[in-house]
Amino acid sequence: MLTGDELLKVLGALGNPHRMRIVAALLDGRDYVSRLARELAIGRPLLHMHLQRLEAAGLVRGELELSEGGKAMKYFELTPFCFALTPRTIGAAAATLGGAGEQGPDAPDAPDAPGAPGGDARGSVGEDTTTAGGTTAGPSTKEKTT
């Protein structure tokens, strides 16, 4: 079973269209960076960044090899993986999550979360907010006319 932090790493790694395309491109077997970059029509630096993210999540592995001409080439291949996402597995993973400092930006205690101390005090549409002077400003009842 994955821990909550490991599950977040995997989901984050797969939560990008480029990285999903990289996984799809590696379905037929390993490939080296330059060929993958050409096949996916993205630059090598960007591809490297995405491959590092997939590798950190344990979804791909890279291996440096020397070509016949003596040129170093990094090959990547998929690692075998299978994840079953169910409410129960997510609940079990959530119970193992790291400290509060590792929560996402929408977590209630995150500094940039609306309504959090030091966060965005604008609130949501129709939500009462407290001003700097401590008074409450409710939702506006004026309608904008065009």
Domains within the chain, CATH numbers bracketed = 4-78 (1.10.10.10)
How far apart are alpha carbons 23 and 77 in whole angstroms? 9
Query: Cβ contacts of residue 32 below 8 Å, gap of 6+?
Result: 73, 74, 75, 76
Once rounded to an integer, what is the mean pLDDT over residues 102-130? Answer: 40
- Give the predicted TM-score (pTM) of the model: 0.65
- Is pLDDT above 70 for 132? no
- Is pLDDT above 50 for 127? no
- The phi and psi torsions of 35 (rounded to 5 degrees) equal -70, -40
More confident residue, 134 or 21: 21
